[in-house]
Structure 1
Amino acid sequence: MNRHSRKKVSKSRDAKNNFKKKCEIGPINPLKRRQQAFLTRQRAALFQKNLPLSNHQCNNDEDLFLCKIGNYSKGLPHNALGEVNLDAYKAMMKALKTGNPDDFELIPLGGFVKLVDPQAAYVFDLVGPDSHQLSIAIPPAFSSAWEASEMAEVYWQALTRDVPFKEYNTNQLIFAAASDLSNFSDFRGPKVNGVVTADTLFRGKNPDNLVGPYLSQFLWKDIPFGAKTIVQQYRTTVANDDHLTLYKEWLNIQNGFTPSSSNVFDSTHRFIRNGRDLGEWVHKDFTYQCFLAACLILLSFGREALDRTNPYLTSLTQEGFITFGPPHILDFVARAARTALEAAWFQKFLIHRRLRPEEFGGRVHNHLTGAASYPINSELLNSQAVSQVFSTFGTFLLPMAYPEGCPTHPAYPAGHACVAGAGITMLKAFFNESFIIPNPVEASADGLSLLPYSGQPLTIGGELNKLASNIALGRDNAGVHWRSDGSEGLKLGEAIAIGILKDYRKTYNEDFFGFCLTKLDGTTIII
């Protein structure tokens, strides 16, 4: 091919390339689009960078008690009292302070069970608030009346696991629990005229939690799952399937050994009807399972259930899909879950290292049997909760729903609660909170059927708030968390979701005036 022919071929290729470039249409050219994409991300990053630094504070139990009785240590080696080996605790602290992956490999373990992902406390995310940016309230101190009331509550939740929610208003054990918790000077669960009642017992403090059945509609109603409908009957354990009530087994579990017992499962799947069923549900659920299910149920209600700010509700020619439609909402529910856990893990490992109720139960047992002397608040030691546990099980240990007890990461805040706070906040941003849920139901006492509920109307917003509390306090039913782990975890998750929504707010082309939602504290915000 001569030079002239090569020039013709080259010009022909250039013409084809130029023709391809001209196929792209839109309000701005590719170069401007690239720059605008960069500036959008940069503005979001600068917003987070310019926020004031958070002041993270703890309850100082770690400094107050040299033997670390007020802090989480499960999985490390312990002495016969369940007090942690201080060299092992120091090794864990060194690793947490340096963040060096090699230092984590040098932490002595007491058995075979490993710590759950402490290095997640350092992870960075590219959307929403940085995990280190958000702070939460100081948790109860080991010797406080507040801590005493929370421990009494989890004792009572263990004692009443098998009482159906539908029978709370007639059950004598429920009445005893409500009466006992009413006597604590600093119990922070919901009350009526200053008294805990069967209608407020084990519920979240948000007013929506006191409306209607104990359990949210989103844990009972059928789930539209693509071409299949999921009926929410689940595997559960049999009545009185309680664990870690023998001291030797409790100590083995603190040291990180595998349990010698296992759960005994009911041969019949049931609708969630009591605390044991709920505790087992949150034992096996995956991260955002509950809020995925709630989203699918909400989408099945149709356009009327969407939030009024959705720009496609007024469009004559378009409907939402990738933006403001099902893929958008489903993605945001999942997206918020992991970011919420990142924030939780930062608080758990790098700030609070709060002990679990299971560990505190060992302190109560050793104190009351004379094996040790600990500064446990007298309101707990003199409570009916403690005496009832001893008369039922023969020890003062907290009866656990899971043979392995709690997970091997600190208590505060609860990861489930953080995911719950984030999940319901995302759903409230996209759905009409005042929409009344059609055909509400409640489980029968045996969990074999759903019965029509005919009480006060139940709204999307109210049942989402209730759902979040159910998931958070469901972990308390199993004995693995405290009330404040849940209540503060919900707030942290909510803040994470709001931060993500802020980052995305200005990424849409539609005429959109902002996400509108009601926070857990009752205030309405527009993002």
Structure 2
Amino acid sequence: MNERQVTNTNSNLGKCCETGPLTPLQRREEAFEIRENAAQFQKDLPLPNHPCNGDENLYANKIGNFSKTLPHNGLGEVDINAYNIFIKALTTGNPDIFEAIPLGGVMKLANPQASYAYDLIGPDSHHLTTMIPPTFSSAWRASEMAEDYWSALTRDVPFINYNTNYLTIAAASDLSKFSDFRGPKEDGVVTTQTLFRGNLPGDLIGPYISQFFYKDVPFGNKTIVQRYDSPMAGDDFMVSYDEWLNIQNGGLPNNSITFDCLPRYIRNGRDLGQWVHVDFTYQGMLTACLILLSFGDKALDPRNPYLNSRTQVGFITFGAAQILDFVAKAARIALEAAWYQKFLVQRVLRPEAFGGCVENNLTGATRYPINPELFNSKALPKVFSKYGTYLLPMAYPEGCPTHPAYPAGHATIAGAGATMLKAFFNESFIIPDPVVASADGLSLLPYSGAALTIGGELNKLASNISIGRDLAGVHWRSDSSEGLKLGESVAIQILQDYKNTYNEHFSGFTLTKFDGTTIII
């Protein structure tokens, strides 16, 4: 057989093997149209406003804004020339100017140029918005700072003992007195049942920690028992002024975390804070997804087109491969949305920096316009009595990350991941054999109480992940609550882009939003 005959034979074989309702040309046009329609949908959405709290223009010394890693004076006030170069880099987007930003130490800014990144699915990061964050001088900000002080003071109190411990009882009573505290309440007051919890449906039901932090995780041919490295009690950092100032300037910490010899289930704020210290981006939602998949078909969303199929099961579509992919896919796009707000819109200071302002005010070095409600908090004298300063005791030696506070990246990822999982699983499915960690975190105890559902426990997991960063001292409550909403918006629009990509008879994704409303995509 000559070369020409071989070529013709191969060509004929290729034509004989073609199967499907569309020719290659038709398929190409259909694929283009789907992508074009998704892009047009995003383009046609109204352009949002991007309001900020105005602190950057209000205070010449930039006390209301993030400036960690830049050089600071002895009061912790940023060098204005360095800050202006930082703003010039953000305004122009010029990579060369970013390289010219003066640093005060060895720590570097965390990826500010991610603020300009584009993506090819879901919403553009610049086309999502958040509400205006608290101002530096507001009663709202004062209440959030008091909550962070109390979080530090109660890090070692087991969640299971919140109802009886004198510190958590005092924290709930104190936070109830703030005029603009926006955490959950019962009958108008903060209680030990609502303390440090989120405002999402399901957050106040059952144990503080979500079942998705306690259940064993099927991981291929291995089962992961969710006991984690636990820092020693009382292991707090940045409570001396020199260390605090060193960290603001981008210096390396002088200390490190000391760990207990035994791994433990997450049983208190310190354990949870450490989990969100070293987790990878979508770790919590990945483990939740693996646990949910182990529950079988009965835990899938009733709209899944394969639940009633006689001949097929889902896999690449409406099965494990797609769900796992979407949880991961949403994480980075959610971070892009958060980074845009963090660097190009808000630039909100971190709680550790605010703690320095409190310290300087109370020692007479400054007269910053901190809302007086904070100085009436019973947390402040307790912090001073224990540490000798009014600085915020941090769970991490290095303090907060080197990017602005608002909104929280962890919260945005958690909001996106929880929303994806609610779209694929049955939110009303009751989680079997619920448990709660013992006070020492060495065992799991049976939980008997109100039923815990997939929807409620996914919401709780998202709140645990976001508020866990607050408990460590690196975020404000508003960073967490608004980050969750931002992540939810990202996930919904990703699902919107994909809704017309399936061959199956599919009536749409159904999920309950964080505000309690049900939507169909």
Displacement of 1:473 in angstroms is 0.3
Deviations 1:236-279 (A, max 9, x none): 10000000000000000000000011111111100000000000
Alignment of 1:121-520 (within 5 A): 121-520=115-514
| Cα distance in 1, alignment partners of residues 74 and 3 from structure 2 | 86
| Cα distance in 2, alignment partners of residues 424 and 86 from structure 1 | 41
1:184 partner letter:
F
3-state DSSP class of the match of 1:179?
helix
Is this contact kept in 1: 2:56–2:62, CA < 8 A?
Answer: yes
Is this contact kept in 1: 2:346–2:406, CA < 8 A?
Answer: yes
Residue in 2 aligned with 1:87?
Answer: 81
| Cα distance in 2, alignment partners of residues 398 and 312 from structure 1 | 52
3-state DSSP class of the match of 1:522?
coil
Q: Percent identity?
A: 69
Residue in 1 aligned with 2:114?
Answer: 120
| Cα distance in 1, alignment partners of residues 222 and 8 from structure 2 | 53
| Cα distance in 2, alignment partners of residues 298 and 107 from structure 1 | 46
3-state DSSP class of the match of 1:121?
helix
3-state DSSP class of the match of 2:519?
strand
Is this contact kept in 1: 2:201–2:514, CA < 8 A?
Answer: no
1:349 partner letter:
F
3-state DSSP class of the match of 2:316?
coil
Structure 1: any 5+ residue segments left out of the alignment?
A: none
Residue in 2 aligned with 1:523?
Answer: 517
| Cα distance in 2, alignment partners of residues 233 and 32 from structure 1 | 53
1:85 partner letter:
D
Is this contact kept in 1: 2:201–2:459, CA < 8 A?
Answer: no
Deviations 1:162-182 (A, max 9, x none): 000000010011010000000
3-state DSSP class of the match of 1:480?
coil
| Cα distance in 1, alignment partners of residues 7 and 51 from structure 2 | 66
Deviations 1:496-525 (A, max 9, x none): 000000000000000000000000000000
| Cα distance in 2, alignment partners of residues 9 and 355 from structure 1 | 72
Displacement of 1:11 in angstroms is 5.8
Residue in 2 aligned with 1:101?
Answer: 95
Structure 2: any 5+ residue segments left out of the alignment?
A: none
Residue in 2 aligned with 1:111?
Answer: 105
| Cα distance in 2, alignment partners of residues 12 and 255 from structure 1 | 71
Deviating runs (4+, > 2 A) in structure 1? 8-16
| Cα distance in 2, alignment partners of residues 110 and 225 from structure 1 | 43
3-state DSSP class of the match of 1:359?
helix
Deviations 1:162-203 (A, max 9, x none): 000000010011010000000000000000111000000000
CA-atom RMSD in angstroms: 0.9
Is this contact kept in 1: 2:292–2:299, CA < 8 A?
Answer: yes
1:432 partner letter:
N
Q: Which stretch shows the higher mean deviation, 45-54 or 419-428?
A: 45-54
2:49 equivalent to 1:28: no
Displacement of 1:13 in angstroms is 2.5
Is this contact kept in 1: 2:303–2:508, CA < 8 A?
Answer: yes
1:49 partner letter:
K
3-state DSSP class of the match of 1:239?
coil
Displacement of 1:9 in angstroms is 5.5
Q: Which has the larger radius of gyration?
A: 1
TM-score (norm 2): 0.99
| Cα distance in 1, alignment partners of residues 170 and 245 from structure 2 | 30
TM-score (norm 1): 0.98
Displacement of 1:16 in angstroms is 3.1
2:48 equivalent to 1:54: yes
| Cα distance in 2, alignment partners of residues 135 and 60 from structure 1 | 16
Displacement of 1:10 in angstroms is 3.4
2:225 partner letter:
V
1:34 partner letter:
R
3-state DSSP class of the match of 2:206?
coil
1:358 partner letter:
E
Residue in 2 aligned with 1:16?
Answer: 10
Deviations 1:191-247 (A, max 9, x none): 011100000000001241100000000001100111010000000100000000000
Residue in 1 aligned with 2:64?
Answer: 70
3-state DSSP class of the match of 1:340?
helix
| Cα distance in 2, alignment partners of residues 12 and 368 from structure 1 | 89
3-state DSSP class of the match of 1:209?
coil
| Cα distance in 1, alignment partners of residues 352 and 7 from structure 2 | 73
Displacement of 1:12 in angstroms is 5.7
1:55 partner letter:
N
Deviations 1:96-129 (A, max 9, x none): 0000110100000000000000000000000000
3-state DSSP class of the match of 2:392?
coil
| Cα distance in 1, alignment partners of residues 481 and 6 from structure 2 | 68
| Cα distance in 2, alignment partners of residues 430 and 168 from structure 1 | 34
Deviations 1:271-304 (A, max 9, x none): 0000000000000100000000000000000100
1:122 partner letter:
Y
Q: Which stretch shows the higher mean deviation, 10-19 or 467-476?
A: 10-19
3-state DSSP class of the match of 1:90?
helix
Instruction: Report the count of equivalent residues.
Output: 521
| Cα distance in 2, alignment partners of residues 16 and 75 from structure 1 | 63
Q: 1:405 to 1:511 in 2, by over 3 A?
A: same
| Cα distance in 2, alignment partners of residues 222 and 19 from structure 1 | 51
Is this contact kept in 1: 2:201–2:516, CA < 8 A?
Answer: no
| Cα distance in 1, alignment partners of residues 52 and 236 from structure 2 | 32
Is this contact kept in 1: 2:355–2:392, CA < 8 A?
Answer: yes
